[in-house]
Amino acid sequence: MVNSNQIKTKEEKEGMKALGIVRKVDNLGRIVLPKEIRDTLRIDIKDPLEILATEDSIILRKYVPGCTLCGEISDNYIMVKGRRICLNCSGAIYKKMKP
Ligand SMILES: [Zn+2]
């Protein structure tokens, strides 16, 4: 027998959860982000948001130009779970991981 608590959707496995909030798109294609979410994620007026899309979902996240960890703008990044990491930071992580 399978416990329903053990069945997770792809979104749940990635840390996303349905908030039970439904908003309609207006005639210009806009939606309002709920204030509670803006407050929790510290999204302020005029903050840039990055739009990502999957086959059936749209993901909005705070836009952080450059390296996710240090903010440095570089020509070379490695991508880890959709986040940009500069070579200096990836090297620092690698050094910490070495036995
Ligand atoms: Zn960095």
Q: Please tell me the distance between residue 6's alpha carbon and the centre of ligand 1 in angstroms.
A: 36
Residue 45 CA to ligand 1 center (angstroms) comes to 26
Full pLDDT tens readout for the chain, 99 residues: 555 556 776 667 677 788 889 999 999 999 999 999 999 989 999 999 989 898 989 989 888 789 999 999 988 999 998 889 999 999 999 999 987
Look at residue 6 in the predicted model and tell me its pLDDT. Answer: 64
> Over the range 33-45, which residues count as b (16 or more CB within 10 Å of their CB) and which as e?
eeeeeeeeeebee
The pLDDT score that the predictor gives to residue 32 is 95
Note whether 48 and 73 are same-domain residues. no
Q: Which token pair is 61?
A: 């996240």
How many Cβ atoms from other residues are within 10 Å of residue 57's Cβ?
A: 10
78 plus 52 within the same structural domain: no
CA of 35 to the centre of ligand 1 (A): 31
Give 54 Cα–ligand 1 centroid separation in angstroms.
26
pLDDT of residue 19: 85
| The pLDDT value given to residue 5 | 54
**Residues 6+ positions from 44 with CB-CB distance below 8 Å:** 38
Same domain, 32 and 56: yes
Instruction: Give the integer Cα–Cα distance in Å for 67 and 73.
Output: 6
Helices in the chain by DSSP H: which ranges? 10-13, 35-40, 87-97
- The tally of domains found in the chain comes to 2
Residue 3: predicted pLDDT: 52
Q: What is the pLDDT, as a whole number, of residue 72? A: 92
Which residues span the domain enclosing 28?
16-63
CATH code assigned at 38? 2.10.260.10
